[in-house]
Structure 1
Amino acid sequence: MKSVWQDECSLSNGVSLDKNIDTDVLIIGAGIAGILTGYMLKSEGVNCTIIDAGRICEGNTGRTTAKITLQHELIYNKLIREYGENKARQYAEANKKAIDKYKEIIKKKNIQCEFKELPNYLYTVDNVEALVQEYEAELKLGIEAELLDNIELPVSVKKALKINNQAQFNPLMFLKEIAKELTIYENTRAVEIKNNIVTTDKYIIAAKAIVIATHYPIINFPGYYFMRMHQERSYVIALENAQNINGMYIGIDEEGYSFREYKNFLLLGGGSHRCGDNEVGGRYEELRKVAKRIYPEAKEVYNWSAQDCMPADDIPFIGQYSKETPNLYVATGFKKWGMTTAMVSAMIITDMIKGRKSEYAEIFSPKRFDISDSMANIMKDGVEAIKGLTSQFFHIPDAELKDIKAGHGGIIEYKGEKVGVYKDEHGKNHIVSTKCPHLGCEVKWNPDELSWDCPCHGSRFDYKGNWIESPAQRGLNGE
């Protein structure tokens, strides 16, 4: 299922690495974080190279809702409470500068990417106190926020929080222009990083500095990012004949929805769940029911899904990968706000590689560790990982091959072994290992995507077991 961005714009250059090379900076991952970092480094005269295991922007960059905003749901009240006003202000100012940087690049290069400055809104149908606290926190940080009783959406709300001068765009149209100036190798998978040498599936790259911008980090040790965040999936449908709206909206309630327009489409998003926790399915149907209720004349034209890294304390990890790896950098944990924080990452990492002190680096530092409010999330992620591991070893399936209906998948016992099977509409069985090759958790069937998803760390595989996205580096059957 292509997103509207992917349908309108392709970035693939068809070039794969064909020899051993040297470069000043190697960036692993050709999504928005990697491309922006490469662009900013090259703008300062740094020789950099980008590689990707698949195609340029083939992953979550092409499946975003593409909002550029510093209003990241209920973030600022929590930041003030846990880290204090100074660090919370760093977070806000970094994201504001990111918006300004987009405007600067788009104007300088005259990029036609449907960029529009619009207000962003948080809204609630039942959690007024939390929204008021966020409003007060934003005012403390100098954010010009406004508390409202009504919004233009056909949704009954109790309160909404508005910030002006935010933005939306078509990310692939933007990235296509700035990627033209960069050296990018597609279908070039990094399989080992040792000191300043990256071994790919075919060749070797030597670099003075390495940036891991692979959405989810591909190295487990050091860094331990698999212990500090999990991944969530969310869903979008694009509607024709719905509503023209003058802003971007997201609900803060458990069943809140996201709204933005693009040309003649209204993008309706929601249905979030932890990766691997969707065995019943029905996420798209949930959005269709909402659309039918509030836009009965609308027609669905596109549907797609995305995946986001969710750090335990809600703050991205941007900077030095670990204290043991001084020349290795990371950008991850964007918590559904990748458009803005990818630019923040590019700014911070460029400063660090150039030997400058970044005024925003401290709040995003991967070296931080907090044990206050965020400890509950750390413990929850640990429990989920343990559940996934124990399921692989101790879960004995009751179902057999005959119990799987055409068009469905599940974990069964087959020839004395536990396997995953998807039976296609023609009755053909596609059998895979249930063990995620990342750290050994048991994968779960996702009927909305026809995929096998790992609940521990978010690796995903198609119904044949082929790798879709990291942190796993190979498919379920070893390919």
Structure 2
Amino acid sequence: MDLEARSLWEDTAQVLMEFPVFEGVKDVDIAIIGGGITGLTAAMLLSQAGKNVLLLEAKTIGLGTTGNSTGNLYSVVDEHLSVLRNKWNADVMKAVVSSRAAAVSLIENTINRYAIDCDFHRQPFTLFAEHLTKEVETFIEDEYDALREAGLNPVILDDAGLPYQTKRALQIKDQAQFHPLRYVRQLASMISEKCEIYENSRVTELDEEKGILKTEKGQIKANHILMATHTPVGNYLIQTLLAPYREFGVAAPLNDPVFPGGIYWGLNDPKHSVRSFRNNGQNYVMAIGDRFKTGQHEDTEKYVSGLKSYLTERLPVSDLSYFWGGQQYRSADGLPYIGKHGERVYFMTGFAADGLTYGTLAAMIVSDQILGKSNSWEELYKVGRFTPVRSAKNFIVENIDVAVQYLKDVPWNVDPEFLSEIKPGEGKVISLDHEKVAVYKDPDWRLHIVSAVCTHMKCVVNWNQSEKTWDCPCHGSRFDVDGKVIEGPALQDLPVKKE
């Protein structure tokens, strides 16, 4: 598979404004790191309150996690409410649902306020089974009970109403879908008169105590620093409570049969979600799912192939030219970490696969904290909560996994002549002069050689063949073939090595 990763959202969203690179020195009330839905929502709320806000985006607005999402907005969670209720209790489950519903309402109100054209529609959310097992039947019963207790009025259906056979479905109404990249790009354009927005301005250093952020061309001093980066950039203990995963999405034109609107999550393994989208008179269908640990699978192409097979076996699609990858960080106890850390830094992380809604909610909570307002959900998601019983199993499993990545020796401890055996378009980690190096051979047979040691906490990166990236298996940092940081928590690039 030699396709370049590109989402359907990126191909159908116009670039409205290009924001400058940050240069110089500046003092501000609030510095926001990250220009996705979380950062931009916080920038909107805080600038509306009269705060002096500056936002730094490492790449271009929305092309991180937001532009590689599903565009689904819902009150439930991907771990499922019945699981959340068992891990916590019914009151916590209800609070999660009400907080996420409030976030979806804020998105809807923002769209109406600024007349944002992003295909926002209220839609049903449906869990469906293509074949029934005892486990699936039991889950549907438990989830129905949890949804009912949460006040979401679920109904059990004989089938999901999809254009292929399904056996049983569980549905709730009044959830939503939109075009995530159109939303954030238009929102950035609308609020840019009240706050400063910069693109291609990656933070390379952060002094939390002094409130100083450095980019390649400038320096900012801020009273408050918001990390809207999906996981905190830099080294923090909270990263031991976060497990990085990736999952892919694929999309294709679909002319017939008609695919209904709505959010559809499959219950059979491997789990996939499907949805439709219409652009300029053309219908599309997309499938997302089958997540895997970041940096721990060299053969990532099998996940893309699995998604393509899922669609082609059920629908008359052939032009599967869109595929993309998205990163998620899953917390140890099933809830995000949102709020103040230390004197001036704010974390917003651990959203799992629910980031569009949780990111908006995080911006609401943190903005209220900065403005001195009370927030009903601040305590529920606080960064400093300690939940040893609810976190223990996941914490132990994930951190044993991280330890294994530190201790293992990659299997390419070979002579430099092995460089000639790397095929064009492939990457390998090898031992060269007693040092781990990451080697990529491009289609023109040029070698790109960088250190294989992640600059975050010294794990050895692994090759991601589908996306042509070097991914860290410990805390999820990702780098391009020339060692440039794609996403944190790493702040520094992988050092370039000479051939």
Q: State the TM-score, normalizing by the size of structure 1.
A: 0.93
Instruction: Between 156-165 and 269-278, report the one with greater CA deviation.
Output: 156-165
> Residues 30-429 of structure 1: matches in 2 within 5 Å?
30-124=35-129, 125=131, 126=133, 127-180=136-189, 181-182=191-192, 183-190=196-203, 191-201=205-215, 202-221=217-236, 224-241=237-254, 243-263=258-278, 264-281=283-300, 282-321=302-341, 325-391=342-408, 397=413, 400-429=418-447
State how many pairs are aligned: 473
User: Is the alpha carbon distance of 1:55 and 1:149 closer, same or farther for their aligned partners in structure 2, counting shifts above 3 Å?
Assistant: same
Q: Distance in 2 between matches of 1:101 and 1:416?
A: 54
Q: CA deviation at 1:411?
A: 2.1
What are structure 1's unaligned runs of at least 5 residues? none
- The yes-or-no answer on 1:476 pairing with 2:476 is no
Instruction: Between 258-267 and 373-382, report the one with greater CA deviation.
Output: 373-382
Q: Distance in 2 between matches of 1:130 and 1:235?
A: 25
Confirm or deny: 8 A CA contact 1:391 1:442 kept in the other structure.
Answer: no
Q: Distance in 2 between matches of 1:24 and 1:390?
A: 43
SS at match of 2:234: coil
Q: Distance in 1 between matches of 2:388 and 2:235?
A: 21
Q: Distance in 1 between matches of 2:413 and 2:329?
A: 30
Q: CA deviation at 1:409?
A: 2.0
Confirm or deny: 8 A CA contact 1:216 1:471 kept in the other structure.
Answer: yes
User: Is the alpha carbon distance of 1:250 and 1:454 closer, same or farther for their aligned partners in structure 2, counting shifts above 3 Å?
Assistant: same
User: Is the alpha carbon distance of 1:417 and 1:439 closer, same or farther for their aligned partners in structure 2, counting shifts above 3 Å?
Assistant: closer
Q: CA deviation at 1:295?
A: 1.2
Q: Distance in 1 between matches of 2:448 and 2:59?
A: 23
User: Is the alpha carbon distance of 1:419 and 1:219 closer, same or farther for their aligned partners in structure 2, counting shifts above 3 Å?
Assistant: closer
Q: Distance in 1 between matches of 2:349 and 2:489?
A: 12
Q: CA deviation at 1:297?
A: 4.1
Q: CA deviation at 1:148?
A: 2.3
Q: CA deviation at 1:364?
A: 1.2
Q: CA deviation at 1:331?
A: 0.9
Q: Distance in 1 between matches of 2:421 and 2:395?
A: 37
Letter in 2 for 1:333: G
The alignment-based identity, stated in percent, is 30
Q: CA deviation at 1:196?
A: 4.8
Letter in 2 for 1:406: P
Q: Distance in 2 between matches of 1:54 and 1:397?
A: 35
Instruction: Between 288-297 and 91-100, report the one with greater CA deviation.
Output: 288-297
Q: Distance in 2 between matches of 1:9 and 1:333?
A: 30
Q: CA deviation at 1:280?
A: 1.9
Q: Distance in 2 between matches of 1:74 and 1:145?
A: 17
Question: Residue by residue, what CA displacement relative to the aligned partner does 1:330-349 show, whole Å, maximum 9, x if unpaired?
Answer: 11111111111111111111
- The yes-or-no answer on 1:4 pairing with 2:17 is no
Q: Distance in 2 between matches of 1:430 and 1:235?
A: 25
Letter in 2 for 1:251: G
Q: Distance in 2 between matches of 1:43 and 1:347?
A: 12
SS at match of 1:383: helix
Instruction: Between 72-81 and 17-26, report the one with greater CA deviation.
Output: 72-81
User: Is the alpha carbon distance of 1:396 and 1:294 closer, same or farther for their aligned partners in structure 2, counting shifts above 3 Å?
Assistant: closer
SS at match of 2:159: coil
Q: Distance in 1 between matches of 2:490 and 2:317?
A: 43
